[in-house]
Structure 1
Amino acid sequence: MSRTAPTRHLATQAASQPANRLATRLVLGFGLLAGIALSGPAQAGKKPFSYFVTGDATAAVQTLAPAAPSLVLMGGGPDVDEAFRWMITRAGVRPGTGGRFVVIRATGTEAYDPYIFHSDANGSTTGPAIDGWVGGAALGLSSVETLVVPSLAAANDPGVSEVLAKANAVFIAGGDQADYIKSWKGTALDRTLQQLMARNVPVGGTSAGLAVLGQFDFAALRGTVTTDQTLSNPYNRYVTLDPSPLALTGGFIAPPALAGTITDSHLDTRDRMGRLIGFMSRLVQPSPSSAGSFGCAGGVLPATQVRGIGIGVETAVLVEGQGNAAPYSYTARRVTNVSTTTESAAYFLRTLQAPTACASGQPLTVLSVEVRKLADDTVFNLSDWTGLPAYHVDAISGALTSNPY
């Protein structure tokens, strides 16, 4: 899915920027130079990326380094205000400290910037945010910045890394994850992201941005794929996974908290549980036995080590590292908006046994996939996969045998 702005804010952002705030937004065709605002259209040919600022990107920042990792896994659709506030707080930002929140995307606009920075449609930078706004300035942010990075050349441009390296929190917007895999993976942008994560800078993503946060990713290099297509043939040409060929190393972002994990968004509204089970099955390594050959050709993990996280729309899972030094343990909790109109659930899946039928051109059979559903304030333990009751789903001859939700 490609979005040009956070869904809940399309109507307000274009119409709610008074003239006295225009000077706070820099639109540049290249990196920030001594805080000078330059016209985007006039400079568009100079560098292969675009850069936008709401607030003051030159302000001093005096935050303390985060003690543990933080991830936001957002399921697409309406953005979850509280998840952004949590990222800001986890970044060590407080009123008076300053802080830089950077959004990265391959296409689209700076629509996230005013939404995250301001507390309401009138551009308030003080007081609690109303529903539909984050209120980052009131929480202590000095700027929200967007980098539109559409190509390999842009991702390798020093100006992108210059901006990104100073981020106190990073969010990957929706769009097309194929753009992120093709244009960002293995670049200077990728290396900068890894350096930020090593410093426990909070990182989040929604929709396509969520898709690239697992150790393994649905890369969508040939477009999207449905549940029916995936279950009827888990090697369907549209089931493109990263890394390719599958390997235990060489993924894109691959935060330690999501080891052995592949993610999916819009899970319930687009009925993607079956395709997530198909993606997970592809990760299971072959395991010949006296009863036959189980697993999937090209798989790289034992069945009991394969995990999936599927997230519904208007849902965010907050992944929090526990402890003061690596290796961390991780917990997860779910947040949504007060105005949500959906169930806003997250699902944690695990294969308990290898698929018994997994071959190119043939329907998938995999039994007893464990599902744990999070639709309340329960804290789930990602490290030992406990904290929620489990139920089980079978896929037999390319069809789920029960309602997986």
Structure 2
Amino acid sequence: MSLFSLSPVLARFCRGLGGAALALFVACSTGVVHAEAKFEIAKPVPLYSYFAVGDVNAAVTAPTSRPAPSFVLMGGGPDVDPAFRWLIQRAGITRASGGRFLVIRATGTDAYNPYIFYSDESLSTSNQIADQWVGGASLGLTSVETLVIPSVKAANSAAVNAIVAKANVVFIAGGDQSHYIRFWKGTALEQTLKALMQKNVPIGGTSAGLAVLGQFDYSALYNSATSEQSMLDPYYKDITFDPSPLSLTGGFIAPPALESLILDSHFDSRDRMGRLVTFISRIVAPTTLSGGSFGCSGGVLPASSSGSKTARGIGIDVETALLVQGNGEGHPVTATRVTNASTTSESAVYFVRPSVAPTVCRSQQPLSIANVEVRKLADSTTVFNLTEWTGLPLYKFMQVDAGQLSPADWY
């Protein structure tokens, strides 16, 4: 008797045993294994996925360390082609040296590989680079690689970390930043990324990848908070941070060049000024002035219109990239903005800093904060001094009064 001559209920049970349960299958079929019986052996889920275009075995002589840090902070939406070219240039990669560009993500595909490596839709490596292509091979890249790292176990894999350690540029893709915090923080991967940062290997990120590049990260462990929810209750359950509780140490990677900052993306398209003001308010430490209590419980930095170690944030529109670079010991970190030539949006960057502490910042109560300075960068020639927070005139003073943002037309 074969498995397929059993009663339908028993047959379903025996098929459900799988190929590994051979003894039970033999018992089900009365000891006779017929040729027509088929086993479906479950395929193991891969620990990680690795994709590459170009020659990963090519000799690379690009420098393994750089004199100053470089970061691309990208606001999501369409990728900004010149920002990727800037990362390649800042890595010291040339046609003579070669270089490896690595994309890391927790979910997704290898879609970045051809976009970064080739120059046009015919997948050429021409020096004539078409819009919506980076042309990395023409600039000297010998390979573009993508690692999908979907678990703590994968982030601790020696093979994964060996690939990451060889990168000349690292780019953190969009997706869900809670995955990066849950899967990568506290692992060997975090240590490998920190080792690359110590050597000033250029690093970039977009959307969720941008969110984990500040000293403080909006970790989004549950749902994505809206501006309205955030201002009505600054301790709403969807407002989660890394490090948690907030601290001046212990954040995921936390690049020193981006200290005191929390970052937000899709700023214009998702109307996120209100939530960024709320996030920054949460970072403001509680204080007592003139007999009153101000600031937010759990906050760790002061609010001030001067000084580099104050609560601050940057909001970045879609199809916008902020190019952040160190300029040597004793010199400030500076930033410029780029976008695509074909962009149809303003593609702006907003630098947000509260000059005074919130007057109301409590759980289940609407936020109130006045005199929040906003500076707006919407051109590609202005250089903003990120360390001293100078180089742009004041764009607007924002305020939140009992959970309501004004002016509402901040953009």
TM-score (normalised: structure 1): 0.88
Q: 2: distance between equivalents of 1:242 and 1:374? A: 27
Q: Partner residue of 1:369?
A: 372
C-alpha deviation, 1:351, in angstroms: 1.1
> Could you tell me whether the CA contact under 8 Å between 1:235 and 1:359 is conserved in 2?
yes
- In structure 1, what is the equivalent of residue 225 of structure 2? 225
Partner of 1:387: 391
Identity of aligned residues (%): 61
Paired residue secondary structure (2:281): helix
Residue 400 of structure 2 aligns with an amino acid whose one-letter code is A
8 Å contact from structure 1 (residues 321, 329) kept in 2: yes
Deviates more, 1:126-135 or 1:314-323: 126-135
Q: Which residue of 2 aligns with 1:80?
A: 80
Match of 1:400 in 2: 405
1:209-358 → structure 2 map (5 Å cutoff): 209-304=209-304, 305-323=310-328, 325=329, 329-358=332-361
Aligned-partner Cα distance in 2 for 1:278–1:217: 13
CA RMSD of aligned residues (A): 1.4
Q: CA deviation at 1:46?
A: 7.7
1:242·1:251 contact (CA, 8 Å) conserved in 2?
yes
Q: Is the 8 A contact 1:347 1:374 kept in 2?
A: yes
Paired residue secondary structure (1:372): strand
Query: TM-score, with normalisation over the residues of structure 2?
Result: 0.86
SS in 1 for 2:113: helix
Q: Distance in 2 between matches of 1:45 and 1:257?
A: 41
| CA deviation string 1:211-249 (max 9, x = no partner) | 000000100001101000000000000001111011110
Structure 2 residue aligned with 1:34: none
Deviation at 1:98, TM superposition (A): 0.7
Question: How far did residue 99 of structure 1 move?
Answer: 0.2
User: Quick one: which amino acid aligns to residue 113 of structure 1?
Assistant: N
Unpaired stretches in structure 1, ≥5 consecutive residues = 1-43
Amino acid at match of 1:209: G
- Alignment-mate amino acid for residue 149 of structure 2: V
Within a 5 Å distance, the mapping from 1:137-176 to structure 2 comes to 137-176=137-176
User: Are 1:57 and 2:56 matched, yes or no?
Assistant: yes
Q: Name the stretch that deviates more: 122-131 or 216-225.
A: 122-131
| CA contact 1:294–1:355 (8 Å) conserved in 2 | yes
Larger Rg over CA atoms: 2
Q: Give the drift of 1:328.
A: 5.2
SS at match of 1:229: helix
Structure 2 SS opposite 1:329 = coil
Q: Give the residue type in structure 2 aligned to 1:283.
A: I
Q: Partner amino acid for 1:48?
A: L
1:191-213 deviation digits (Å, cap 9, x = unpaired): 00000000000000000000000
Q: In 1, distance between residues paired with 2:205 and 2:383?
A: 20
Q: What residue number does 1:38 align with?
A: none
Distance 1:174 1:244 in 2: 22
Aligned residue type for 2:219 = A
Shift of 1:292: 0.8
Query: Which letter maps to 1:352?
Result: S
Which amino acid in 2 is paired with 1:353? V
Question: 2:90 maps to what in 1?
Answer: 90
Assess if the C-alpha contact under 8 Å between 1:282 and 1:296 holds in 2: yes
CA–CA distance in structure 2, aligned partners of residues 291 and 332 of structure 1: 40
Q: CA deviation at 1:289?
A: 2.3
**Which portions of structure 1, spanning 4 or more consecutive aligned residues, are displaced by more than 4 angstroms?**
none
Paired AA for residue 180 in structure 1:
Y
Q: Distance in 1 between matches of 2:274 and 2:253?
A: 24
For 1:401 and 1:328, the matched residues in 2 are separated by 36
CA distance in 1 between partners of 2:359 and 2:210 (Å): 29
Amino acid corresponding to residue 55 of structure 1 in structure 2: G
Query: What's the CA shift string for 1:240-261, capped at 9, x where partnerless?
Result: 1111011110000211121110
